[in-house]
Amino acid sequence: MPFGWRNDKQPEETRDDTFTEKKSKRQSLLGLFKSKKWMRNLQQDPIAEKVVPSIVSHKHSTVTTEEPHLAPEVANSETDVRVNEGKKVADSGLGSQQSQVVHDLSKEDVQSLFSGAPQFSVGQEHGQPKPAASFPWDFSLGVRDVADCPPLAHPAFSASTLRKHIARSGSSYDRDGSTVQYNIGVAELPNMLSAQGNEPGTVGFDYFLQESIADSLQVHQDVTDIDKDESDRLQNHALLQVNAERMGIRKFDMEHIVERLVELSEVYQDLRARKVNILDHQTASELYSGLFSQLLMPPKFDNTAQDPTGLKVQIESLIKSLKLNSIWYDFSQVEWRIRVGQTLWTDPSFQEEANCPDEANYLDDRNILLLQLVLACELLLRLEAIASLSTEEVNEKLHLTGEEIHSFRDLETRKTKWDLGFARRFLDNIEVRRITVAREQVKQPSSSSFAFFSSASPQLDHTTLQDQVDIMFLPRNPKQELSGLFHFAEMLCWPDAESVEKELIEALRANEDVLSIPSPSIYGTPLGSPASSYRNSGYFETRPQASRSVTARSLQLQPASPTLRPTKASPNGTPSDSSLLSAPKALIGGWLSRTCLSGLVLPGEAISHFLISALLENDATAITALGDSANLYSGFLYRGRSWWSKACILGRVLACSQGATECMGWISVPVVPAGFEDSWVDVRSTPVEPTGMARIEDADAVASDSSFLAGNELKDTKPGDFTLPQDSTELRNLSIRFRSLQLDLVRESNLVDVTTPSFSASLRFSSGSISDSFGLGHPLIKLDHLITFISAFPCTTPPAEKLQVLKGNRDAPSLGALPAHPLHISQTYRTVPATTILTTTYDLAIAIDKLSTEKSILIIDARGDTVLELASRAWCSSHGEHALISRVGVTCLACSVREARALAVKIVIRIG
């Protein structure tokens, strides 16, 4: 494979020669920390006292003042705030002070002390920032095989990402590791593998940082000067209809499109099974002839190419064609990744707004998408062929140089890279079949074995009798897609999930005997061309405008409807009466269900929309109770539970409550507000506005603020610059109760006609053990801000036997495992009990002001009670502060503080 184009496996890191030596270094340095001489010197050092209390355990070390610069001896014992508290580690087991020698820190010392502690950084991948948490000095599987996110719960969920990962057994994405693939050089942002953290309602380190550069925030390159370029875009789109040859594209021929897609699909499956490429089926000259006689106009003669009919000319022409302005769908935009299924499977009767010419040869949205798809598949398979060969084979057989291959990368854009991603996803999951039907059946629904992939509901139209070639799409992995949907329902505690599963399976089996009727091939009223849709501000702006409650944040569901076996029309062109006698063959939902069950799901957030929509569309009881206008960015109440999108603050906060479950961007909670019936609910909260440079774009700050040495040079760092932070052993025996969820109507005076009301959310708490004088009372915490919770990255402490060198004598008790990693004294933090922040006497303004000034971290101690965590999350939302969720026994305090600093997050909620 030439020039680094493959999706190569990462090489194993070379084992450090000092690995064996690290054990003794770590032991000796920890002993140094605990020497009586060193502790006495530190207590006498005015600078050390001014910066932060040492790791020495003092009588009042658990109740110190909130001021970070005061020594522990002068702490106010009445407060609940602890500042950089350190804890002694089995002092009775340490050697005498005479046995310890103070020395400067070496590189090996640092590696030993921070073994098992994650290092946070931001690198580059495909020209985009890539966050990383790594363990560069650790080689054991127990240390390195940890993550802040669980693996994808089902093989079908691999559709959410383009990133390399270990797919669960049986997944259609579980390729043979030796299969060579062309690296398309793009992936979804944020990383969907990091979308669900280890803690409920959280995301991972990667996802949080990448949210600031998410695909959904990217402005289309053609919209930068929309008024100036509008006429050019419309002109290009019109030119495609009347004189495509001027744009280098041949006249659309459905028969060739279908035949070529079938052929390319077979080649691709052969490539996966036998490790061959398209050049084993056709020579470069044959590929040239087919491409420029059927799809594209031949380019000008290239006298610089060694082979004028070779792959170089073909690849360059394909890329240039896919870069044409305002003709194609741009799958780098999240909207089009969601709407691709709408283009393929929407009933034409739902597209009333669009205007379409009467010309028979008009290229509707579906045909444009098919043309774009076949061009992208042609390009992908040629690039896969190059990737499968060695550099010598590419030079000798294909007459391509390294410079020419790299020039292909220079031609590509983000849009054309996503074309390749779309093509690969299509070829992986969709089987293509060529069929011939009479014209009067073109707009009628299919009754084939997977007729639900044709039209969303029965539709009859007046047409003439004429045979026509059309295309049928079938899922390659129907059992996997169904199983994924049912797993999603089970994880979210869906009512009567088994009944829904049984009915859907029976509906899909109803038509197994017929495979001849296709989906509609001509849309008399297209969805709207890419050119006319650039102004859309939401993913679901184009929707049926019927007498329904539909808002800019909602999407129209299509309840399951009978799929009828179509019949021939009468001689005058009208449907014959016999069509009314055709029995329903299946009850299947609309284009959302078909997209989900086909597996044609593009990476990113789309999968969460498809899963919940398919579940609702195919549950007649649920959609009757809730209605067919769905707000997929908020939630709904149904049969004593509530379901919330993870895009909604209620889902993120309530996820940690008792009985809550989470799966693929949706959270199910056994909590409903009083006085509400089963319905969709639009909950509003204010997003936290970013300030300054996006954190992910400041890689130096991420590394420096979270570094083990706090950004200092090794030569300037002394052993006395570290402390060993520990959680307090004292847990206050206080109980706090979650009472209710409250929704209050939001008055939107700026809107003339509000058909769907919006609500603000609050959580009410009370306490039976905290007196009213304490200030808690019955607090109502408003969820005003849309904040994000991040799951702390796990760290690993060494086993107990590695620390026995710290024992001063053989008879001393075992030291046990190291309780924490060290923390540099400049990386300050304050610990506050969760019950304290809920009181009326707690002054957040002062605390936040100090945190902002000192880059200090506020740790909310919510250990011992899940309701304390719930209240802490709600409190963070009320004040607009993101928070890191850190569990005792998974991540130590020091690593939690460092990660919070890496993320520029001021709050850590300590649980467990």
Q: Percentage of residues in the chain with pLDDT exceeding 70? A: 66
Rg (CA), the chain: 31
Q: Looking at this protein, which amino acid is placed at residue 533? A: S
Q: Are strands 82-83 and 829-833 parallel, antiparallel or unpaired?
A: antiparallel
Q: Let me know: does 105 contact 718? Beta carbons within 8 Å.
A: yes
pLDDT at position 240 is 86
Residues contacting residue 476 through CB under 8 Å, at least 6 positions apart = 172, 428, 429, 430, 431, 599
The three-state secondary structure class of 437 is strand
Give the count of alpha carbons within 13 A of 747, CB side only: 1
The residue whose two tokens read 């470069």 is 284
The three-state secondary structure class of 482 is helix
pLDDT at position 844 is 66
pLDDT at position 493 is 97
Q: Looking at this protein, which amino acid is placed at residue 239? A: L
What is the pLDDT averaged over residues 155-182?
A: 74
- Tens digit of pLDDT for each residue in 845-898? 666 666 655 789 999 999 999 999 999 999 999 999 999 999 999 999 999 999
Element (H, E) at 438: strand 430-438
More confident residue, 502 or 93: 502
Asked whether residue 610 carries a pLDDT value surpassing 80, the answer given is yes
- pLDDT averaged over every residue in the chain: 76
Choose the weakest-confidence range: 74-83, 202-211, 453-462.
Answer: 74-83
Rounded to two decimals, the pTM is: 0.82
Nearest to 765 by CA among 880, 653, 910, 636: 653
Q: Let me know: does 694 contact 131? Beta carbons within 8 Å.
A: no
Asked whether residue 120 carries a pLDDT value surpassing 80, the answer given is yes
Cα-Cα-Cα-Cα dihedral of 402, 406, 411, 415, to 10°? 130
CA-to-CA distance for 833 and 63, rounded, in angstroms?
11
Q: Let me know: does 830 contact 65? Beta carbons within 8 Å.
A: no
- Tens digit of pLDDT for each residue in 409-429? 999 999 999 999 999 999 999
CB under 8 A, 24+ apart: contacts of 809-817: 812/90, 812/92, 812/93, 813/90, 813/92, 813/93, 814/93, 815/89, 815/90, 815/93, 816/90
- Tens digit of pLDDT for each residue in 620-673? 999 999 999 999 999 999 999 999 999 999 999 999 999 999 999 999 999 999
Element (H, E) at 469: strand 467-475
Nearest to 665 by CA among 613, 616, 609: 609
- Tens digit of pLDDT for each residue in 308-339? 889 999 999 999 999 998 899 999 999 999 99
What is the pLDDT averaged over residues 588-603?
A: 92
The residue whose two tokens read 């990402």 is 161
- Tens digit of pLDDT for each residue in 195-205? 999 999 999 99
CA-to-CA distance for 110 and 101, rounded, in angstroms?
17
Asked whether residue 73 carries a pLDDT value surpassing 50, the answer given is no
Q: Let me know: does 898 contact 133? Beta carbons within 8 Å.
A: no
Q: Let me know: does 120 contact 898? Beta carbons within 8 Å.
A: yes
pLDDT at position 582 is 41
pLDDT at position 248 is 93
CB under 8 A, 24+ apart: contacts of 96-102: 96/36, 96/808, 97/35, 97/36, 97/37, 97/38, 99/31, 99/35, 99/808, 100/31, 100/32, 100/35, 100/37, 100/38, 101/32, 102/32, 102/37, 102/38, 102/719
Q: Percentage of residues in the chain with pLDDT exceeding 90? A: 48
Dihedral sign for Cα atoms in the order 249, 254, 258, 259: negative
Q: Where are the beta strands (DSSP E) in 539-639?
A: 555-556, 561-564, 584-588, 629-630, 635-638
CA-to-CA distance for 605 and 664, rounded, in angstroms?
9
- Cβ atoms within 10 A of the Cβ of 600, count? 24
Asked whether residue 475 carries a pLDDT value surpassing 70, the answer given is yes
pLDDT at position 231 is 62
CA-to-CA distance for 646 and 644, rounded, in angstroms?
6
Asked whether residue 437 carries a pLDDT value surpassing 90, the answer given is no
Q: Where are the domains of the chain?
A: 19-115+691-911, 221-592
- Tens digit of pLDDT for each residue in 438-468? 655 445 554 444 444 544 444 545 555 677 8
